[in-house]
Amino acid sequence: MIKLANTDLSIYPLCLGGNVFGYSADKENSEAVLSFYADSGGNFIDTADMYSQWAPGHIGGESETIIGNWMKKRGNREQMIIATKVGKLDTKPGLKASNIISACEDSLKRLGSDYIDIYYSHQDDLETPIEQSLGAYDSLIKAGKVRYIAASNFTPERLQESLDVSKKLNLASYIASQDQYNLMDRGYENTLMPTLKSNGLSQIPFYGLARGFLTGKYRKGKSVESIRANGVNTNYANDRGWEIIEKLDQIAKDQNTSVAAVALAWLRAQVTVSAPIASATKLEQIKEIMPIVELSNQELQALTSS
C-alpha cells in the first residue's frame, strides 16, 4: 500500500477502473474481477455516475450499481477506497452546487454507501463559478458524505485557479488529478505535470494501458476483436507503437511478468503519478495487470526514450 498525498488514504498502487462494469463486462465477470482484485490485496476502485450511459439502453450509474451490490455481498465497504465522479452524466451535467449535491446523493444510493472517498469533478464547467462548485464540495465534506475531492480533465490554468480559490476562501481543495497519461500518450508531461508538481498533487492517470494497446494483445498484421480496436489501430498501431511493444516484450520476459505490468510500472515510476488506473473485463485480464513490478533505471530509460 502507498499513502496518497494530501490524504490519510492508503491505496493499492493499481486503481481498478470501473468504466467496463455493466458494459463490456457483464455482472458476473465484473464481480469476478472485483473479487480477484480485492482478494489479491487491491482496495482502490474508480468509477463515475455516467458509466455506462453510452451503451444502448443504459442511462448511467450501471457501474456504481454493480460495485455497490458487490460490496454489499462482500460486506467490505470499509476496506475499499471508492472514487466516483460528477459532471458528465447527461441527466446531471455540470458543476452547479445543486447538481453536485443531487448527483452525490444518487451515487451514494447506487454505491450503497453513506460516503464517497474521492469525489471528482469529471470535467471543468466554465459556466459555473469555481467558488460555487467548491462550496458544494465543502458542504459535502463537512456533512461526512465525501472525504476528499479531485479534478479530472482540467487545463493547468483552471486547476491552478481552483486551487487558489480554495486557499483564498478556505474551501475544500482538490487533492489529485485524473488525466490521460501512458507510454503512448505523454502530452501530460508538458501540460498538467508542472502544475501538479508545484502544488504537491498526485496524478491518478486513466487509460494507463492506452485502451489496451500496451497489454501486447495488438500485434502487426493481427486483427483484434475489441470495442476499442478502431481507436487503438488509428492512434497507436504505428512504428513508434510497435517499437514500444518490442521493448515491453523484452522487459516482461526478463522480469517474468506481463507486458501490461511493465507498462503500468513505467507509469507508476513517473513524477507525480501515484496509482495508474487500468480496467479488466475478465479474470485473465485482471491477472495480467495486478503484479506490481519495479523497473531498473536502464529499463525505465529505454521505455522513456521511445
**Tens digit of each residue's pLDDT (9 = 90 or more) over 139-168:** 999 999 999 999 999 999 999 999 999 999
DSSP symbol at 206: B
Q: What is the mean pLDDT of residues 229-242?
A: 78
State pLDDT tens for residues 55-75.
999 999 999 999 999 999 999
Q: What distance in Å separates the CA atoms of residue 92 and residue 80, rounded to the nearest whole number?
A: 26
Percentage of the chain modeled with pLDDT above 70: 96
pLDDT beyond 60 at 211: yes
Q: Which CATH code of 3.40.50.970, 3.10.100.10, 3.90.700.10, 3.20.20.100 fits the domain covering 2-212+272-293?
A: 3.20.20.100
Indicate the average pLDDT of the chain. Answer: 95
Q: Is the pLDDT of residue 227 over 60?
A: no
Q: How confident is the model at residue 233 (pLDDT cuts 50, 70, 90)?
A: low
CA angle 28, 34, 35 (to 5 degrees): 90
Q: Which residues contact 104 (CB under 8 A, 6 or more apart)?
A: 86, 116, 119, 140, 145, 146
Map out the domains of the chain as residue ranges: 2-212+272-293
pLDDT at 181 (0 to 100): 98
- Residue 46's identity, in one-letter code, is D
Q: Tell me how far CA of residue 87 lies from CA of 96, 122, 181, in angstroms.
A: 9, 5, 21
Query: How would residue 222 be classed by pLDDT, with cut points 50, 70 and 90?
Result: low
Is the pLDDT at 234 greater than 80? The verdict is no
Q: In the predicted model, is pLDDT for residue 29 greater than 90? A: yes
Which pLDDT band holds residue 226 (cuts at 50, 70, 90)?
A: low
C-alpha–C-alpha distance, residues 206 and 259, integer Å? 18
Host H or E run for residue 194: helix 193-199
Position 258 scores a pLDDT of 97
pLDDT value for 218: 80
Q: Is pLDDT at 191 greater than 60 in this prediction?
A: yes
Global pTM reads 0.95
pLDDT of residue 221 exceeding 70, the answer is: no
Non-local CB neighbours of 2 within 8 Å, separated by 6+ positions: 10, 11, 12, 13, 274, 275
Per-residue pLDDT at 246 exceeds 60: yes
DSSP-derived letter for residue 180 is B
For 83-119, the pLDDT digits (tens) are: 999 999 999 999 999 999 999 999 999 999 999 999 9
Give the mean pLDDT of 167-185.
98
Q: What is the 3-state secondary structure (H, E, C) of 112-128?
A: CCCCEEEEEECCCCCCC
Q: Is the pLDDT at 134 greater than 90, yes or no? A: yes
> Which residue did the predictor score with more confidence, 133 or 222?
133
H-only helix segments in 50-95? 62-74
Please give the pLDDT value at position 55.
93
Whether residue 223 is predicted with pLDDT greater than 90 in this model: the reply is no
Cβ-based neighbour number of residue 3 at 10 Å: 11
Q: Is the pLDDT of residue 185 over 80?
A: yes
